[in-house]
Amino acid sequence: MFTIGCMLIALNGTLPPIVFTPDEQRRILQHSPVPAPPDDPTNDWDHNAHAARFGQSLFFDAGFSSNGQISCASCHGPMIAFTDGVPLSEGLTIGSRHSPSLLNVSHQRWFFWDGRADTLWSQALHPIESSDEFGSSHNAYVLRLTQTPSYREAYERLFGPLPKMEDRERFPLEAKAGTPAWNAMSSQDQHAVNEAIANCGKAIAAYETQLQSTGSAFDVFAEGLREEDPQKLAALTHSAQRGLKLFVGDAGCRQCHSGPLFTDFEFHNIGIPTGHGGPPRDSGRHGGIAHVQTSPFSAHGPFSDESSGRRARRTRSTIQSPEHWGAFKTPSLRNLTRTAPYMHQGQFSSIEDVLEYYNTLEDMVVQDHHQEAVLLPLDLDESQLEDLAAFLRALESPLPDAALLSVPTSPLLDDSAPLHVAPSPPAEPSEP
């Protein structure tokens, strides 16, 4: 495919040039550029600008949490690549995992460190009832929509009428999935609330789909390789180029951190010592699989816009096995400069600490014989570790458009923008 041959890249004055073999070049080009956001057929609204604007308003609104202080942005702060900078996120209480970046999140196949959501829109529903995060209920969320005129208008223009939430006997605020109060609701009312909340998730996902970030120094370098353009090749320092060579070569990182997002979108147990020092208690992917298959909001469930498509089949066919215990999703390596600390519990505070772990595997937790055995200590010297770190730092790219980084002035776009009409607007099931 690429016939550039062994190019000599002599850019930093008198330093010896870094040579990339054709095979290395082919591997490097697999990491760039980041493609446009993919379609999610389970969400008819994923590329709809109106829905995205409504979703952006919901994302930044703390009024949906039980103490009025927590919004999605509390733990996904736009200026730090939609993370929160602490090891374990804090909502109403301190949770058990680290907040991942939302940049380029629409490319993911599974969501959360354990993949317990199979679509971006269903992920957005979890924080609402979680006692660590919003500590609210779907009923309370939808009630607030009906009571806030700008939300009500935006929602009903997009998705059709909201349920009659004012009737507290039918829609008690304390009713969360699995509680007696929820179970006592009629199945029609449960369906109406689930449908409304799923639509909110779809709008939030439409917003998150716009959080693309590409154009790092590494991407400019990759373009330079494609176009044989020495100026673009100069975007990476010699040290970062040596780090890149290690990354796609001897260090073996691309085995899991593959493709433009630097992730295989899969789950591995790489034995990171727990943040609390004791034995691991977090089952990771093992628990995630059980959850995603039984969630009413899964890709194969009644609120999916394509319940028999590829995503749905993938969820159905995933089989839990012992090697999933303690496995976590391979994170993207883009924008690490903004997303410290690292790993599922924020165990490492710097890129250097992460590399030190891969270099020595010191304190690696080996649970049992089911664990994937892929990592060996790298045994790199100090200057090689610096090179690898320089390469990882060169994966920083500009933040998305400033208009996406804060609460919009209104949940509605102006009237001139075309309004997508819902394929089948939700009916009010309990209307006489």
Nearer of residues 1 and 376 to ligand HEC, judged by Cβ? 376
- 187-206 residues in contact with ligand HEC (CB under 6 A) are 204
268 is an interface residue for ligand HEC by CB under 6 A: yes
Nearer of residues 170 and 207 to ligand HEC, judged by Cβ? 207
Q: Which residue, 363, 358, 353, is CA-closest to 378?
A: 358
Strand, coil or helix: 90: strand
Q: Residue 149 class from Cβ within 10 Å (0-12 exposed, 13-18 middle, 19+ buried)?
A: exposed
Rounded Cα distance between 87 and 38, Å, is 30
Nearer of residues 12 and 66 to ligand HEC, judged by Cβ? 66
Contact criterion met (CB below 8 Å) for 197 and 302: no
165 is an interface residue for ligand HEC by CB under 6 A: no
Contact criterion met (CB below 8 Å) for 159 and 189: no
| Long-range contacts at 248-252 (CB < 8 A, ≥ 24 apart) | 248/24, 248/27, 248/28, 248/31, 249/24, 250/378, 251/358, 251/378, 251/380, 251/388
141 is an interface residue for ligand HEC by CB under 6 A: no
Nearer of residues 94 and 417 to ligand HEC, judged by Cβ? 94
Tell me the two tokens of residue 6.
């062994």
Tell me the two tokens of residue 145.
């929509």
Question: CB of residue 255 vs ligand HEC: minimum separation in angstroms?
Answer: 4
213 is an interface residue for ligand HEC by CB under 6 A: no
Question: CB of residue 224 vs ligand HEC: minimum separation in angstroms?
Answer: 22
When binding is defined by CB under 6 A, the residue of 78, 135, 331, 400 that contacts ligand HEC is 331
Rg of the chain's alpha carbons, rounded to an integer?
A: 23
User: By CB under 6 A, which span of 176-184, 224-232, 313-321, 327-335 interacts with ligand HEC?
Assistant: 327-335
When binding is defined by CB under 6 A, the residue of 143, 185, 225, 256 that contacts ligand HEC is 256
Compute how many other C-beta atoms are within 10 angstroms of the C-beta atom of residue 179: 13
Nearer of residues 253 and 394 to ligand HEC, judged by Cβ? 253
When binding is defined by CB under 6 A, the residue of 27, 97, 300, 334 that contacts ligand HEC is 97
When binding is defined by CB under 6 A, the residue of 81, 344, 384, 399 that contacts ligand HEC is 344
DSSP string of 294-331, one letter each residue: H-TTSTTSTT-S-TTSHHHHHHHH----GGGTTBEEPP
Question: CB of residue 223 vs ligand HEC: minimum separation in angstroms?
Answer: 23
Q: Which parts of 331-422 fold into alpha helices (H)?
A: 351-360, 382-393
Rounded Cα distance between 15 and 257, Å, is 30
Question: CB of residue 420 vs ligand HEC: minimum separation in angstroms?
Answer: 21
Q: Which residue, 103, 81, 390, 23, is CA-closest to 235?
A: 390
State the distance between the two ends of the chain, measured CA to CA, in whole angstroms.
Answer: 64
When binding is defined by CB under 6 A, the residue of 45, 159, 303, 328 that contacts ligand HEC is 328
3-state DSSP helix/strand/coil percent for the chain, to nearest 5?
40, 5, 55
102 is an interface residue for ligand HEC by CB under 6 A: yes
Rounded Cα distance between 97 and 130, Å, is 13
Rounded Cα distance between 196 and 141, Å, is 10
When binding is defined by CB under 6 A, the residue of 37, 78, 87, 100 that contacts ligand HEC is 100
350 is an interface residue for ligand HEC by CB under 6 A: no
Question: CB of residue 99 vs ligand HEC: minimum separation in angstroms?
Answer: 4
333 is an interface residue for ligand HEC by CB under 6 A: yes
How far, rounded to the nearest angstrom, does the alpha carbon of residue 429 sit from its chain's CA centroid? 34
358 is an interface residue for ligand HEC by CB under 6 A: yes
Tell me the two tokens of residue 137.
């209920």
Rounded Cα distance between 398 and 341, Å, is 20
343 is an interface residue for ligand HEC by CB under 6 A: yes
When binding is defined by CB under 6 A, the residue of 37, 127, 260, 411 that contacts ligand HEC is 127
37: cis peptide before it, omega within 30°?
Answer: no
| Window 39-78: contact mask with ligand HEC (x via CB under 6 A) | --------------------x----------x-x-xxx--
How far, rounded to the nearest angstrom, does the alpha carbon of residue 389 sit from its chain's CA centroid? 23
When binding is defined by CB under 6 A, the residue of 40, 133, 189, 305 that contacts ligand HEC is 133
Nearer of residues 124 and 236 to ligand HEC, judged by Cβ? 124
User: By CB under 6 A, which span of 139-147, 164-172, 334-342, 406-414 interacts with ligand HEC?
Assistant: 334-342
Interacting residues with ligand HEC (CB under 6 A): 59, 70, 72, 74-76, 89, 91, 95, 97-100, 102, 105, 108, 111-114, 120, 123-124, 127, 132-133, 204, 251-253, 255-257, 268, 270, 272, 328, 330-331, 333, 336, 339, 342-344, 354, 358, 374-375, 378, 388
